Amino acid sequence: MENNYSLKREKAMKQKIENILSHHIIGAAIELHRELGPGLLESAYEHALAYKLSKDNLDIQQQFPVPFVYDEIKLEAGYRIDLLVNNRVLVEIKSVEALAPVHFAQTLTYLKLADIRLGLLINFNVKVLKNGIHRVVNGL
């Protein structure tokens, strides 16, 4: 019984950490969007957000490679996560007129391949950034 309690408690702590991180990332993205506005390339927002988050002493990995494993064969298929924050939260950045279902599917696929539970899909090409932020979860 106690082991089951410990697992539930550990899962709750991980979710709390992921939620705190996502809140911080969202705040930084909103601040960045207020400063820069819409219309830049995805790469500009990616580098600026990575810089902003690293200034807050978060561990940021840009263009993090994610291998595709099939039937025990590891394939380097060119999948890359835009930002991986503290090895806990995936950030997929877009600068498009409108997000399409494929963007959500891509984010969920990256979450599954990297075995990460929480992702943020952020479209910076919107007037108000809160309308461009979406949480994507993998088994939370």
pTM tops 0.85, yes or no: yes
Q: How confident is the prediction along the chain (140 residues), in pLDDT tens digits per residue?
A: 556 767 677 767 777 889 999 999 999 999 999 999 999 999 999 999 999 999 999 999 999 999 888 888 887 777 899 999 999 999 999 999 999 999 999 999 999 999 999 999 999 999 999 999 999 999 85
Q: In what order do the strands lie in the sheet with 60-70?
A: 60-70, 73-85, 89-94, 118-123, 133-137
What is the per-residue pLDDT for 2? Answer: 57
**Domain range list for the chain:** 2-137
What is the per-residue pLDDT for 139? Answer: 82
What lies within 8 Å, CB to CB, of 39 at 6+ separation is: 95, 125
Query: For residues 16 and 114, what is the distance between their CA atoms, to the nearest angstrom?
Result: 20
Query: For residues 94 and 82, what is the distance between their CA atoms, to the nearest angstrom?
Result: 10
